[in-house]
Structure 1
Amino acid sequence: MGPITKSEKFVQSKKGQWEKLHQILLTLNNKGFNSLAPEEISIFPRLYRLTCADLAEARTLRLSPDVLDYLNQLVGQAHKCLYSFPPLKKKELKDFFLEQLPEIMLKNWIFLLLAAFLFFGSYGTTYVIVSKNPTVAGLIVPQATLSQMEESYRAAIDEQRALSAKNFMVSFYIQNNISIAFASFALGILLGVGTIYILIYNGIVLGAITGYIFALGYGKNFIHFVTGHSVAELTGLILAGAAGLALGFSIIKATRYYRREWLGFQRRNIFTLVAAAGILIFMAAMIEGLISPSLIPYRYKAGAAILSVLLIIGYFFVWPLVYAKNTTKRYGDDRFY
């Protein structure tokens, strides 16, 4: 029997590491992420990086095609598990809406509460200040925007103003809230500081606009326009903010691991909140474009608002508690911690 070659030594020294990564991938593919043990979660990103380096070295050593194919498949599967976000199949939609989303809501209640406090706290404070002293609004919002708002809400919606609202106000609110939602989530990458800034800043701006309109005596017209869509819209913004805060917290928590890989594990948690926010903002946009600027009697707009409130409370607050209670009876409390 001849001496062991450098290539053989390399394979023997790395074989245990590759097999461990292979076993983790089998568990992920067969049982899902939640079935991994804590030590497997912590070591998975490191094994992936080491195996990537091994693949590069194996190519340099010109190992056999079988070894190279094995490592290529191993690295490819690990990369997919870490960085891909598989689309929901039709048969999974029921589980997503009735199980996954309620579970994520409960796990992230502290981020939801904090996002709501930051936005509505700054909104309410600014509204009170500006409604008592409307000149303050000019220090926060450009005068051109205030003038346009004043013009839009000076009179009740008639046929001409309905068209004007569709041409200006609808596009303003849709673009504004989509940009806020995206920024609230994306800037969470700055350890959550960016999300906090966006929530507070936009709460101040919207509070100043609302307070200014009410100080001028146009509050009734303003309410008639925003009643139908505001509940869903603002709830969507809070969910996006919660996703940004969760993203920032995940980055801070990942100091022991490779951040990029750790965020790969957190993608389900974060992007589920983003998906819920997107659904609500889209629903609000439909109401805003079809109902809010129309000549439909106010009672129908109020009805849309009441229905939105009932659906949001029922789905985002009541149902998660019911789901948690039923799940706890079957599995215990660990699933929500």
Structure 2
Amino acid sequence: MDIEAFVGAHKGTWDRLEYLVRHKRSLSGAEVDELVDLYQRVATHLSIVRSRSADAALVGRLSALVARARAAVTGAHTPAWREFVRFFAVSFPVVAYRARWWWLGSAAAFYAVATVIGFWVAGDPQVQAAVGTPEEITQLVEHDFADYYSANPAGSFAGQVWVNNAWVAAQTIVSAILLGLPIPYILWQNAANVGVIAGLMGSRDRLDVFFGLITPHGLLELTAVFLAAAVGLRLGWTAVAPGARARMQAVAEEGRAVMSVALGLVAVLLVAGLIEGLVTPSGLPTWARIGIGVLAEVVFLAYVLVFGRRAALSGETGDVERAPDLAPSAG
């Protein structure tokens, strides 16, 4: 496509739409109808440019113009609660669903590393000696590990856990800026910590205490971290291999989708923090505490599978700039 000819043919339309958007509060009835018509036409122009040109500046200009026009056309008629519902019914789960194989790979690698390190620490007294003295290990196993969950008031502890986990997830997602290179190291650090503590607890026959305390909140908490790692790695890989899309376009689309996960994980980690602060240190039987954790994990995975798959099949991507702007075009 001759991009200069295309711009020359349609620049007047874009300028007119921009004028109407800027003066949306004082438009006549005819001008409102013109605004809606031009919005639909320019959305089609955006679709054509995205599919046939690598001009990132032009794509950016038209994307911004169409987004502003969409807000002018529909903003006054879309209740905030509908946007909220759409986010949790479409935007968040579809991005998580599309990253499912990266998600699964992150989880598999984490658990493999944690398991190997756990067995290594549990079976080798020399490794245990390198971690700490016998007295320090006894203090950790017999007191510190369990006391960690009850040292502070439940509400305060839940808040601290939420902030800490949200920070870990945010670090993981932000690492995508560096093509996801720090993410394996972040996962390695966390897997090694889990493996070392599990190994020390196992060496003193206290694995029942370990799993009884870490499972209720740990399932959902680690799942959230794996999801953050997955979308971060996927975004980084998109910068390396964008496929048929222009590199800048692909990174921009995936980056906007990743923000959906970043916001959604705030809610997921809040639930994990509440479980860790209120359920883990509670007086409930171990089976009940673990059952609550398993139930939360199953509900979350089912939510992503059902809502995410449905949204993906309908063509949703989680990119806020793509729907409903990509009108079909022919020729």
Q: Given the alignment, which residue of 153, 164, 167 partners 2:151?
A: 164
Query: What number of residue pairs does the alignment pair up?
Result: 285
Q: Return 5+ residue gaps in structure 2 as ranges.
A: 19-35, 70-74, 318-331
Q: Given the alignment, which residue of 252, 256, 261 partners 1:273?
A: 261
SS across alignment from 1:154? helix
Rounded Cα–Cα distance in structure 1 between residues aligned with 2:119 and 2:160: 24
Q: Given the alignment, which residue of 117, 121, 133 partners 2:108?
A: 117
> Against the structure 1 CA distance between its residues 171 and 219, is the aligned structure 2 distance closer, same or farther, given a 3 Å change threshold?
farther
Q: Is the 8 A contact 2:168 2:225 kept in 1?
A: yes
Q: Given the alignment, which residue of 37, 40, 43 partners 2:47?
A: 37
Residue 171 of structure 1, CA deviation: 8.2
Equivalent residue number for residue 47 of structure 1: 58
Q: Is the 8 A contact 1:28 1:36 kept in 2?
A: no
Q: Which amino acid aligns with 1:129?
A: W
The 5-angstrom pairing of residues 195-206 of structure 1 reads 195-206=183-194
> Against the structure 1 CA distance between its residues 206 and 90, is the aligned structure 2 distance closer, same or farther, given a 3 Å change threshold?
same
Rounded Cα–Cα distance in structure 1 between residues aligned with 2:181 and 2:303: 29
Rounded Cα–Cα distance in structure 1 between residues aligned with 2:44 and 2:103: 23
Q: Given the alignment, which residue of 68, 88, 99 partners 1:97?
A: 88
| Residues 107-129 of structure 1 deviation map (CA, whole Å, 9 limit, x = unaligned) | 22222122222322222221222
Equivalent residue number for residue 177 of structure 1: 165
SS across alignment from 2:241? helix
Q: Which amino acid aligns with 2:222?
A: L
1:249 is aligned to 2:237: yes
More moved, 233-242 vs 117-126? 117-126
Q: Which amino acid aligns with 1:252?
A: V
1:132 is aligned to 2:123: yes
Q: Is the 8 A contact 2:97 2:304 kept in 1?
A: no
Equivalent residue number for residue 215 of structure 1: 203
Q: Scaled by the length of structure 1, what TM-score is found?
A: 0.65
> Against the structure 1 CA distance between its residues 257 and 216, is the aligned structure 2 distance closer, same or farther, given a 3 Å change threshold?
same
SS across alignment from 1:192? coil
Rounded Cα–Cα distance in structure 1 between residues aligned with 2:183 and 2:43: 28
Rounded Cα–Cα distance in structure 2 between residues aligned with 1:286 and 1:33: 44
> Against the structure 1 CA distance between its residues 283 and 303, is the aligned structure 2 distance closer, same or farther, given a 3 Å change threshold?
same
Q: Which amino acid aligns with 1:281?
A: L
Q: Is the 8 A contact 1:115 1:238 kept in 2?
A: yes
Q: Return 5+ residue gaps in structure 1 as ranges.
A: 1-11, 52-73
> Against the structure 1 CA distance between its residues 172 and 283, is the aligned structure 2 distance closer, same or farther, given a 3 Å change threshold?
closer
> Against the structure 1 CA distance between its residues 133 and 101, is the aligned structure 2 distance closer, same or farther, given a 3 Å change threshold?
same
| Residues 123-161 of structure 1 deviation map (CA, whole Å, 9 limit, x = unaligned) | 22212222222543565x6x49x94x7535415999x88
Rounded Cα–Cα distance in structure 1 between residues aligned with 2:87 and 2:171: 25
Q: State percent identity of aligned pairs.
A: 20
Residue 96 of structure 1, CA deviation: 2.7
